Structure 1
Amino acid sequence: MRWLLWIALAATAAWTGYWWVGATTIETSVSAWIKAQPEDQISAASVEVQGIPNRFDLTITDLALRSPDLPLRWQTPFAQVFAMTWKPWHLIAALPTGQKITYQDQTLTLNSSQMMGDVMVHPDSDLTLREVVTQSRDLQLISNAGWQISAASLLASLREDPTAAHRYRLGLRLADLLTDASLTPKLAAAGLPAKIDEGYLDAHVSLTAALDRSAAQRQPRPSEIDLDALRLIWGDLRLNATGRITADAMGYAAGDIQIDLQGWQMLPPLLVSLGLVQPQMQQTMTTILQNLASQNGAPEDLTLTLVARNGRMQLGPLPLGPAPLLSWP
Structure 2
Amino acid sequence: MRKMVWIVILAALAWSGWWFVASTSLRSGISVWFDARKAEGWQAELGEVVGGGFPLTLQAGLRDIALADPDAGVAVQTSRLDISAPAWWPGDVTVALDDAPIQLASPLGRSTLVMQDGVLALNLHPGTALELETLGWTSGPWQVEDAAGAQVQADSLTLTMVQSAGPQYDFTAQANQFAPGDAIRALLRLPDSFPRAFDSLTLQAAVTFDTPWDRRALDTARPQPRRIDLHLAEARWGDLRLNFAAALDIDGAGTPMGVVSLQAENWRTMLDLAEASGVLPNALRGQAEGILQLLANASGNPAHLDVELTLRDGNIYFAFFPIGPAPKLVLR
Q: Does 1:14 align with 2:14?
A: yes
Q: Verify the 8 A CA contact 1:190 1:273 in the aligned structure 2.
A: no
1:200 correspondence with 2:179: no
Q: 1:225 aligns with which of 206, 228, 240?
A: 228
Does the aligned pair in 2 maintain the 1:156–1:173 contact within 8 Å?
yes
Shift of 1:315: 6.5
Give the whole-Å Cα distance in 2 for the aligned partners of 1:287 and 1:189: 26
Q: Deviations over 1:72-101 (max 9, x none)?
A: 211111112111112222111111131110
Larger deviation: 318-327 or 192-201? 318-327
Alignment-mate amino acid for residue 270 of structure 2: L
CA separation of 1:134 and 1:147: change in aligned 2, threshold 3 A: closer
Tell which deviates more after alignment, 60-69 or 276-285. Answer: 276-285
**Displacement after TM superposition at 1:308 (Å):** 2.6
| Cα 1:32–1:70 shift into 2, 3 Å | closer
CA deviation digits over 1:289-309, x for unaligned, max 9?
233212222233211334332
8 Å contact kept, 2:315–2:322:
no
Cα-to-partner distance string for 1:122-146 (whole Å, 9 max, x where unaligned): 2234322111111022111110244
Query: RMSD of aligned C-alpha atoms?
Result: 2.5
Q: Which runs of 5+ in 2 are unaligned?
A: none
Residues in 2 aligned to 1:105 and 1:175: alpha-carbon distance in whole angstroms: 25
- CA offsets per residue over residues 189-242 of structure 1, 9 Å max, x none? 598433222221111111111112333335321111111111111112111111
Corresponding residue for 2:96? 94
Question: Residues 145 and 314 of structure 1: is their aligned pair in 2 closer, same or farther, counting only changes over 3 Å?
Answer: farther
Q: Which has the higher mean CA deviation after the structures are superposed, 13-22 or 145-154?
A: 145-154
- Give the Cα–Cα distance (whole angstroms) in 1 for the partners of residues 174 and 288 of structure 2: 31
> What amino acid does structure 1 have at the position aligned with 2:281?
Q
Q: Greater shift after overlay, 128-137 or 274-283?
A: 274-283
Give the aligned partner of residue 174 of structure 1: 175
In the alignment, residue 109 of structure 1 is paired with which amino acid? T
Among 49, 66, 76, which residue is 2:68 paired with? 66
Q: Which residue of 2 aligns with 1:128?
A: 131
1:9/1:128 Cα in 2 relative to 1: closer, same or farther (>3 Å)? same
Given that residues 189 and 273 in structure 1 are in contact (C-alpha distance below 8 angstroms), is that contact kept between their aligned partners in structure 2?
no
Change (3 A) 1:190 1:259: farther
Q: CA 1:193–1:282 in structure 2 vs 1: closer, same or farther (change >3 Å)?
A: farther
Note the residue ranges of structure 1 that are not aligned, 5 or more in a row. none
Q: Which residue pairs with 1:299 in the alignment?
A: 302
The count of residues paired between Structure 1 and Structure 2 equals: 326
Q: 2:47 pairs with 30, 45, 48, which one?
A: 45
In structure 2, what is the Cα distance between the partners aligned to 1:151 and 1:169? 23
Deviation larger for 243-252 or 15-24? 243-252
| Separation in 2, partners of 1:169, 1:119 | 15
Q: Which amino acid aligns with 1:309?
A: R
For the pair 1:242 / 2:233, whether they are aligned, the reply is: no
Secondary structure in 1 matching 2:198: strand
List 4+ stretches of structure 1 deviating above 6 A: none
Give the conservation status (yes or no) of the 8 Å contact 2:202–2:235. Answer: yes
Cα distance in 2 between the residues matched to 1:158 and 1:96: 22
TM-score of the two chains, using structure 1 as the length reference: 0.89
**Alignment deviations for residues 87-119 of structure 1 (CA, whole Å, 9 cap, x no partner):** 222111111131110235932110011110111
Q: Quick one: which amino acid aligns to residue 8 of structure 1?
A: V
Percentage of pairs with the same residue: 25
What TM-score results when the alignment is normalised by the length of structure 2? 0.88
Alignment of 1:269-308 (within 5 A): 269-279=272-282, 281-308=284-311
How far apart are the structure 1 equivalents of 2:243 and 2:156? 21
